[in-house]
Amino acid sequence: MSLAPFGRRRLRVTGRRAIGAYDVLSVADPDGPAPDAGQFAMLAAADGWGGLEDERPFLPRAFSVARRHGDGRLEFVLEDVGPGTERLCELEPGDDVWLLGPLGRGFAAPRDGRRPVLVGGGVGIAPLMIWGDALGGAATLLGFRDAAHAAGAALVPGARVATDDGSAGHHGLVTELLAAELGGDVEVYACGPPPMLEAVRALCAEHDVPAQLALESGMACGFGACFGCVVPTRDGYVRLCVDGPVLDAAALAEVA
């Protein structure tokens, strides 16, 4: 497991490009450790970060590392859904960010030579990008709400797509595509919103297929100190930022 250096690092933004409803932010981190697939980083804009004078400052935001290039550039997939992500989506080449990472526990290799199947929803495509790179390719199924978001599938060549409204790819849920992939010895890797992950967990349990789920939860510190990202497992509560974000599906009674 790659460990983050002590303290956050001030790094330079090298690029930002729009892919449908998403922005891909590139950050130069040539001296940082190479992240494992499924690990994340805490990001904050170095300037203009926080509320107005009468508001609370923004907390850093946790983002899965989507890719690491040979020159040390890290890529993150962002969606503008609030004031914090809006500020990050405004960054341009030459701006700086504070980065803490890599953090957490990532994906483990398929057991017993099983065939990996990757399942993502929305910005949950991010950790599947770096994991697919590490695996050298894998069957990848991606679910989005509409065609504007499905444009993000261009980041994962060869992926099959499902959309809620039928405006791109299969009209329906990504788990409908997954059901057809569960024959034979496979292992499922998934990241996305909780309802999707619960559907993946239940489907894999029904077919006795092992699965690893990268869960999403609000994180404030990244070191397990604040207990803001606890989730229930069959053996009690765990902190996603240190015990996850990737958990074995068998450890979960359900994904809340």
Which CATH superfamily groups domain 9-103? Translation factors (2.40.30.10)
pLDDT in tens, 209-249: 999 999 988 888 888 888 888 899 999 999 998 999 999 99
DSSP assignment string, 10-39:
EEEEEEEEEETTEEEEEEE-TTSPPPPTT-
**CA dihedral for 194, 199, 204, 205, sign (positive or negative):** positive
- For the chain, residues with pLDDT lower than 50 are none
Domain with CATH 2.40.30.10 in the chain: 9-103
Count the neighbouring beta carbons within 10 Å of the beta carbon of residue 90. 13
- How far is residue 120's CA from residue 255's CA, in Å, rounded to a whole number? 15
**One CATH from 3.40.190.10, 3.90.79.10, 3.40.50.80, 3.20.20.450 for 111-251:** 3.40.50.80
Looking at residue 73, its pLDDT comes to: 97
The first and second tokens of residue 120, run together, are: 């993502």
Q: Where in the chain is the domain with CATH 3.40.50.80?
A: 111-251
131: number of Cβ within 10 Å: 25
Structure tokens at 100: 């803490």
